[in-house]
Amino acid sequence: MTVLLDTFQQRSSHALHDARLQASLRGLSTGFVVRRADAVAAFADFEELRRQGQAIKDHALEHLDRYLLEFEANVQRTGGEVHWARDAAEARNIIRDLCRKANARTVTKGKSMVSEEIALNEALLADGLEVIETDAGEYIVQLAGEAPSHIVMPTVHKTTEQISDLFFEHHKRYGFHKRETDAAKLIAQVRTVMRDKYFAADVGITGANFLIAETGSIVLVTNEGNGDLTSTLARTHIVTVGIEKVVPTLDDASTLLRLLARSALGMDITSYTSFITGPKRPGDIDGPEAFHVVLIDNGRTKMLSGAYRSMLRCIRCGACMNHCPVYMSVGGHSYGWVYPGPMGAVLTPMIDGHETAKDLPHACTLNGKCQQVCPVKIPLPDLLRRLRHEQWEAHFISKTARFGISAWALLAKRPRLYHAMTSLIMPVLARCGRGKGAFKWLPLASGWTASRDLPSPEGRTFQAQWKRRQR
Partner 1 sequence: MTTAREEILGRILAAKDNPAASSVDAVAPRSDRGPSVRPVVATPVIDTFRRNAIANGFGFSEAPSNTDIVATVKAALVENGAGTDITIAQSLAHIGWPNDWTIHWGMGRRIEHVCINTAVAAIAETGSIVFGSSSRSPASLNYLPDLEIALLSKSDILAHPEDVWRTLREMHGASATTWPRAVNVVSGASRTADIAGILVRPAHGPKHVHIILTP
Taking the complex as a whole, the smallest distance from the CB of residue 255 to partner 1 amounts, in Å, to 5
Q: Does 135 bind partner 1 (CB under 8 A)?
A: yes
Taking the complex as a whole, the smallest distance from the CB of residue 363 to partner 1 amounts, in Å, to 24
Q: Does 393 bind partner 1 (CB under 8 A)?
A: no
Q: Does 279 bind partner 1 (CB under 8 A)?
A: yes
Q: Which of 2, 41, 128, 286 binds partner 1 (CB under 8 A)?
A: 286
CA atoms in the 13 A half-sphere facing the CB of 203: 25
* Structural contact between residues 209 and 316, judged by C-beta atoms closer than 8 angstroms: yes
**Helix, strand, coil distribution of the chain in percent, nearest 5:** 55, 10, 35
Instruction: Name residue 153's amino acid.
Output: M
Q: Does 62 bind partner 1 (CB under 8 A)?
A: yes
Beta bridge partners of 107: 131, 203
Task: State the Cα angle at 83 between 207 and 246, rounded to 5°.
Answer: 50
CA 97 to CA 92: how far, in whole Å? 8
Q: If we measure between CA atoms, which residue out of 15, 7, 89, 117 comes closest to residue 338?
A: 117
* Closer residue to partner 1, CB minimum distance, 117 or 224: 224
- The DSSP line for 251-304 is HHHHHHHHHHHHHHHS-SS-SEEEEE-SSPPTT-SSS-SEEEEEEE-TTHHHHH
Taking the complex as a whole, the smallest distance from the CB of residue 99 to partner 1 amounts, in Å, to 19
Q: Does 65 bind partner 1 (CB under 8 A)?
A: yes
* Closer residue to partner 1, CB minimum distance, 315 or 360: 315
Q: Which of 54, 121, 263, 273 binds partner 1 (CB under 8 A)?
A: 273
Cα-to-chain-centroid distance, residue 181: 29
Q: Does 201 bind partner 1 (CB under 8 A)?
A: no
- The DSSP line for 16-33 is HT-HHHHHHHHHHHHHHH
Q: Which of 12, 54, 74, 461 binds partner 1 (CB under 8 A)?
A: 74
What is the footprint of partner 1 within residues 230-249 (CB under 8 A)? Answer: 231-233, 243, 248-249
Taking the complex as a whole, the smallest distance from the CB of residue 26 to partner 1 amounts, in Å, to 11
Q: Which of 89, 269, 307, 407 binds partner 1 (CB under 8 A)?
A: 269
What is the footprint of partner 1 within residues 176-195 (CB under 8 A)? Answer: 183-184, 186-187, 190-191, 194-195
Count CB-CB contacts under 10 A for residue 131.
21
Q: Does 140 bind partner 1 (CB under 8 A)?
A: yes
Taking the complex as a whole, the smallest distance from the CB of residue 201 to partner 1 amounts, in Å, to 12
CA 1 to CA 118: how far, in whole Å? 7
Q: Which of 95, 203, 238, 276 binds partner 1 (CB under 8 A)?
A: 276
* 3-class secondary structure, 438: strand
* Closer residue to partner 1, CB minimum distance, 67 or 396: 67
* Closer residue to partner 1, CB minimum distance, 155 or 263: 155
Q: Does 118 bind partner 1 (CB under 8 A)?
A: no
CA 195 to CA 206: how far, in whole Å? 17
CA 467 to CA 135: how far, in whole Å? 62
Q: Which of 78, 329, 422, 449 binds partner 1 (CB under 8 A)?
A: 78
* Closer residue to partner 1, CB minimum distance, 48 or 169: 48
* Structural contact between residues 250 and 215, judged by C-beta atoms closer than 8 angstroms: yes
CA 346 to CA 391: how far, in whole Å? 12
Taking the complex as a whole, the smallest distance from the CB of residue 118 to partner 1 amounts, in Å, to 14
Angle, in degrees to the nearest 10, between helices 64-77 and 46-62? 80
What is the footprint of partner 1 within residues 293-332 (CB under 8 A)? Answer: 295, 297, 301-302, 304-305, 309
- Structure letter (DSSP) for residue 7: G
Q: Which of 38, 122, 196, 355 binds partner 1 (CB under 8 A)?
A: 196
Q: Which stretch binds partner 1 (CB under 8 A): 154-162, 169-177, 361-369, 411-419?
A: 154-162
Residues recorded for the chain: 471
User: How many residues touch partner 1 (CB under 8 A)?
Assistant: 100
* Closer residue to partner 1, CB minimum distance, 124 or 233: 233
Q: Which of 7, 10, 26, 27 binds partner 1 (CB under 8 A)?
A: 27
* Closer residue to partner 1, CB minimum distance, 122 or 251: 251
Q: Does 168 bind partner 1 (CB under 8 A)?
A: no
